[in-house]
Amino acid sequence: MKGDKERAEGGAPAAAEDARWLAQGRRALATVDLAPQARSFGTVVQVGDGIAHISGLPDVRLNELLHFEGGKTGLALALDEETISAIILDEADAIEAGTRVSGTGEVVQVPVGDGLLGRVVDPLGRQLDEGDPIRPDGWMPVERAAPAIIERALVSEPVETGVLVVDALFALGRGQRELIIGDRATGKTSLALDAIINQKHSDMVCVYVAVGQRASAIERAIEAVRTHGAFERCIFVIAPAASAPGLQWIAPFAGFTMAEHVRDKGGHALIVIDDLTKHAATHRELALLTREPPGREAYPGDIFYLHARLLERAARLAPELGGGSLTALPIAETDAGNLSAYIPTNLISITDGQIVMDSKLFAANRRPAVDVGLSVSRVGGKAQRPALRQVSGRVRLDYAQFQELEMFTRFGGITDTRFRPVLTRGERIRAVLVQSRFAAMPVEAEVALLAALGQGALDPVAPDAIPVLRERIAATLPTRMPGLAARIEGGEKLDDQTLSALAALVTELADG
């Protein structure tokens, strides 16, 4: 009886609550379109090697995202009269002939925003690390149009890598595309990682895209940045060799989209694509599987357009668009130093210069193994700090003269004493350009070392002693000449008195 009394007392509020929920349900049902809706489905007729051939779906567009039964996704890569060739973006184990497919009407999109900083993701933006779930600022398509000419500004601000041979001879600018090219195991990735690590002293966000690399090499790269760089301002987009070909194909485009979001907000980003040779091989594989006609070296005819539309997205925007920049360091691998192969020549013609890595220099322990004669930056001094350009002007010419004379000395001694200073200076230049990994030099130390080199202060110094001298210069300059760094970074040229003071300081450190 007591329970009946309590239910009776609470019956009125419960009835009112039921009536409120019923009214909300009726309003929700009134907004639902209950009319018949037509949806089209296709069927997989053949699948293999990361490609699914689909019949049906007459309204699907090129590069449209497809959903396979079971939750897998794909991308419409080629449209024939009766079938669609789609690249599978997930593991294809659950996809077989007869699997139902539906179109989405959308293109592939990836997450963007600060939530990706310090994270390791796959090309679809799915996290691969053990952190918290990623909370992006939004989603953007992986294929985006490059900025128009009118939307771009001149490349005039430097990207300092901390590697003396690059900063002095092949200066990079914000918004530039500089190709790093060379044979296998010549230090291409190491040079790009040094550039990423040195951005811990700048405001640049770095994106590292691994395409077709070994998992162990990717882990070493991530650990290097975690140990020596600003990992919290980096994004790692990973598509290892074991991943699906479709993921490897979209990886560079996904990385560019993540970096472009930084640029479009007025920030500055640096992207490294490691490497485009493997990306080209993946594109060739997918093209042949979709029955596209092969061309030179079996690559399809659109391989140039593929990489051109990708790398053209790197740019510095005009001030009225925020003034942001996106700098690209694509990596390409050559076979036996053949720079005239199809993919290397394509990439050289697309980019604003190339840094050529030489296997002979690498074997001789002259690292970074940059071939000074073949490397070039088509922006160069326009993006270099005036003080650094002032002291590095003759280094390349002097080094080229030394290399030519050194070649003749192999056939016998040169008795003319006029050539002895050239050989002595060249040996010091070679020693100055040798630099260990993860040993980035601040710009004021680079200026001091090159100023001492130009004024002959290093001529009495043994080449073997220069690495130790380099460390002393970097440690001593902030206390002995505290205002030098601010003057250099402010775009000021150095007067003769300052250059002489730098040379005297280097001589003092060498004697000590």
Q: Please give the backbone phi and psi of residue 62, each rounded to the nearest 5 degrees, phi first.
A: -65, 140
List CB contacts of 48: < 8 A, sequence separation 6 or more.
Answer: 289
Closest CA to 509 of 456, 464, 468: 468
Known catalytic membership, residue 378: yes
Going from the C-alpha of 87 to that of each of 74, 304, 312, 492, the distances in angstroms are: 5, 20, 24, 54
**Backbone dihedral region for residue 56 (phi beyond 0: left; psi -120 to 50: alpha; all else: beta):** left
How many residues are listed for the chain in this entry?
Answer: 512
> Of 378, 437, 472, 487, which one is the catalytic site residue?
378
With 0-12 / 13-18 / 19 or more C-beta atoms within 10 angstroms meaning exposed / middle / buried, residue 8 is exposed
Angle, vertex CA 137, rays to CA 136 and CA 140, nearest 5:
90
**How far, in Å, CA of 175 to CA of 386, rounded?**
19
Closest CA to 171 of 13, 366, 350, 380: 380
Residue at token pair 């990706």: 116
Angle, vertex CA 103, rays to CA 53 and CA 279, nearest 5:
55
Strand partners, 128: none
Contact, 305 vs 287, CB < 8 A?
Answer: no
With 0-12 / 13-18 / 19 or more C-beta atoms within 10 angstroms meaning exposed / middle / buried, residue 149 is exposed
User: Could you list the active site residues?
Assistant: 378
